[in-house]
């Protein structure tokens, strides 16, 4: 475990692109999350006036951005990263994605590995107005590894091997097998045998059951255990998605993850996920927000995000007006909670008591309300269970209903403790890290499914 830094300058000095690199496309969190991965790289004590200006910037006070710009133009890596974010997301300057990428590139060249990671992701997905370029993505991923990205070798192992080697990253890859078997010849032979009961799922999917089509797609497309063919599983899911919003989000996730076609298809993902929202599945908004904004725009679904952002502003204002102190947790408190989770410094939190007397385990104690933390823990546990595909059809439907209810609670400022979307994102990431580091402290999926009704009822008392 990395020791805590000795002074405030070390604690507040941001490595603003690091959390964005971890988050992938969750770009709306840029301002708040810049603090959180300060400890990802070596502590750096910059000029006091620059430290103060960056502190103000992270509190959304852009009055000193000209000073940060002067240090950026002088080649200071942290300042270059800040200015890159300012242009990329329109935070302090008029949005100019090309200029933002230019400053991020200079930050990476000046030694900021999180900037290199973010650039790698930008070019991998063709995000931020840039042309998709896998070779350039590999080049920045190799640069990040050379600069000290702790996840560099794992990140490079997931990229095309030839591109990584061409970018000078061969030393980070495991040797290829000496006697690699040739690729199998495509035949009409049946696919691997499915688990017992899966033929029943196939019959239900062919009969038009959307839940069965979703489960069949999980077995066939994600786990390669299919009683039919991948093509039929895909086609049945498409047919189900035309009338069922949950099937539409499943199809969108398959396109997003590159499960069908071999590469991510972000525009197709946005079309189906946005369609699910239009069919009435509110929780689809969170999947849509995590996609590249350019892809959402190209899919013709950006109007959904614009409406949601306006609604959120109204909800947060209403929550703040009902709060005696009128204030949400400050960004520093949110960032400290996340940093504790990332570096496993926080003790296992006390369980949340329910009205029944039961004490409900949670993964992390964050600025969310107590029942908001319980909901965040359960949301992650249930999503992990659903991803395994182990549950029977009926149980899958119950788990999905519970997940939707928990997601609604976590994102409702009137029940989550008055947190806005950025703050909620940071809190949920704290739970994600806690789940990775100490999974034994998590509630079980069964407990989460059984208790979501009393938890939702209790959360009505968690007024901000």
Average pLDDT over residues 235-262: 88
Domain chopping of the chain, boundaries: 8-172, 198-300, 323-459
Distance CA 348, CA 430 (A): 12
- pLDDT for 61 beyond 60: yes
Q: How many CB atoms lie within 10 A of CB 398?
A: 15
Distance CA 206, CA 235 (A): 10
pLDDT averaged over the chain?
Answer: 74
Contact residues for 112 (Cβ-Cβ < 8 A; gap 6+): 15, 17, 41, 77, 78, 80, 81, 147
Distance CA 232, CA 215 (A): 13
- pLDDT for 237 beyond 60: yes
* Domain 198-300 listed as CATH 1.10.4160: no
- pLDDT for 252 beyond 70: yes
- Give 395 or 319, the one with higher predicted confidence: 395
48, 55 Cβ separation under 8 angstroms: no
- Give 432 or 256, the one with higher predicted confidence: 256
User: Both tokens of residue 451?
Assistant: 């208790």
* pLDDT of 152: 79
- SS3 per residue for the chain: CCCCCCCHHHHHCCCCCHHHHHHCCCHHHHHHHCCCCHHHCCCCCCCHHHHHHHHHHHCCCCCCHHHHHHHHHCCCHHHHHHHHHHHHHCCCCCCCHHHHHHHHHHHHHCCCHHHHHHHHHHHHHCCCCCCCCHHHHHHHHHHHHHHCCCCHHHHHHCCCHHHHHHCCCHHHCCCCCCCCCCCCCCCCCCCCCCCCCHHHHHHHHHCCCHHHHHHHHHHHHHCCCCCCCHHHHHHHHHHHHCCCHHHHHHHHHHHHCCCCCCCCCHHHHHHHHHHHHHCCCCCHHHHHHCCCHHHHHHCCCHHHHHHHHHHHHHHHHHHHHHCCCCCCCCHHHHHHHHHHHHCCCCCCCCCEECCCCCEECCCCCCCCCHHHHHHHHHHHHHHHHHHHCCCCHHHHHHHHHHHHHHHHHHCCCCCCCCCCHHHHHHHHHHHHHHHHHCHHHCCCHHHHHHHHHHHHHHHCCCCC
pTM over 0.95: no
Per the listing, tokens 């006036």 go with: 49
143, 108 Cβ separation under 8 angstroms: yes
pLDDT digits (tens, 9 = 90+) for 437-458: 777 788 888 888 888 788 777 7
Contact residues for 97 (Cβ-Cβ < 8 A; gap 6+): 87, 88, 128, 129, 130
Residue 106's pLDDT band (cuts 50, 70, 90): very high
- pLDDT for 1 beyond 50: no
**Of the CATH numbers 1.25.40.10, 3.40.50.1100, 1.10.150.120, 1.10.10.10, which one belongs to the domain with range 8-172?**
1.25.40.10
- Give 187 or 96, the one with higher predicted confidence: 96
Strand partners, 359: 353
* pLDDT of 197: 44
Gyration radius of the chain over CA positions: 23
pLDDT digits (tens, 9 = 90+) for 377-423: 998 888 877 766 555 655 677 787 788 888 888 888 888 888 877 77
pLDDT digits (tens, 9 = 90+) for 22-42: 333 333 333 344 344 333 434
Distance CA 267, CA 101 (A): 22
* pLDDT of 464: 42
**353 phi and psi, to 5 degrees?**
-75, 140
106, 80 Cβ separation under 8 angstroms: yes
Q: How many CB atoms lie within 10 A of CB 7?
A: 10
Distance CA 199, CA 192 (A): 13
* pLDDT of 136: 93
**28 phi and psi, to 5 degrees?**
-70, -5
Distances (CA, A) of 399 to 428, 429, 434: 19, 21, 21
Domains 8-172 and 198-300 agree in fold: yes
pLDDT digits (tens, 9 = 90+) for 197-209: 445 788 888 988 8
- pLDDT for 44 beyond 50: no
Per the listing, tokens 């009205």 go with: 355
């Amino acid at each position: 475990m990395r020791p805590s830094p000795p002074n405030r300058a070390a604690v507040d000095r941001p490595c603003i692109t690091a959390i964005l690199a971890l988050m992938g496309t969750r770009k709306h969190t840029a301002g708040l999350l810049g603090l959180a991965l300060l400890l990802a790289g070596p502590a750096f004590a910059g000029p006091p006036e620059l430290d103060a200006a960056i502190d103000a910037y992270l509190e959304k006070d852009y009055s000193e951005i000209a000073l940060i710009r002067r240090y950026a133009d002088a080649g200071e890596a942290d300042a270059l990263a800040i200015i890159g974010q300012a242009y990329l997301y329109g935070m302090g300057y008029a949005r100019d994605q090309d200029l933002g990428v230019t400053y991020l590139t200079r930050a990476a060249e000046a030694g900021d590995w999180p900037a290199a990671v973010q650039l790698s992701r930008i070019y991998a997905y063709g995000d931020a107005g840039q042309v998709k370029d896998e070779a350039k993505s590999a080049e920045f991923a190799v640069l990040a590894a050379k600069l000290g990205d702790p996840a560099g070798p794992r990140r490079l192992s997931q990229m095309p091997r030839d591109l990584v080697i061409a970018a000078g990253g061969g030393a980070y890859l495991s040797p290829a097998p000496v006697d690699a078997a040739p690729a199998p010849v495509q035949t009409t032979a049946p696919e691997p045998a499915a688990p017992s009961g899966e033929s029943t799922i196939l019959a239900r999917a062919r009969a038009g059951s959307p839940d069965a089509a979703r489960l069949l797609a999980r077995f066939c497309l994600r786990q390669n255990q299919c009683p039919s063919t991948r093509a039929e599983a895909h086609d049945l899911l498409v047919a189900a998605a035309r009338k069922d919003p949950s099937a539409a989000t499943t199809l969108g996730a398959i396109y997003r993850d590159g499960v069908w076609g071999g590469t991510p298809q972000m525009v197709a993902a946005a079309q189906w996920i946005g369609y699910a929202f239009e069919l009435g599945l509110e929780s689809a908004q969170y999947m849509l927000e995590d996609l590249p904004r350019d892809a959402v725009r190209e899919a013709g679904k950006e109007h959904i995000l614009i409406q949601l952002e306006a609604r959120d502003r109204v909800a947060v204002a209403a929550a703040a007006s009902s709060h005696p102190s009128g204030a949400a947790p400050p960004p520093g408190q949110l960032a400290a909670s996340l940093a504790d989770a990332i570096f496993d410094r926080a003790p296992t939190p006390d369980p949340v008591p329910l009205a029944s007397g039961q004490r409900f385990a949670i993964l992390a104690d964050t600025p969310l309300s107590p029942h908001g933390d319980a909901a965040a823990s359960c949301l992650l546990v249930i999503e992990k269970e659903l991803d395994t595909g182990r549950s029977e059809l009926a149980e899958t439907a119950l788990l999905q209903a519970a997940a939707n209810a928990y997601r609604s609670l976590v994102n409702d400022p009137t029940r989550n403790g008055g947190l806005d979307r950025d703050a909620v994102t940071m809190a949920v990431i704290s739970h994600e890290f806690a789940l990775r580091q100490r999974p034994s402290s998590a509630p079980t999926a069964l407990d989460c499914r059984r208790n979501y009704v009393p938890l939702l009822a209790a959360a009505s008392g968690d007024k901000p």
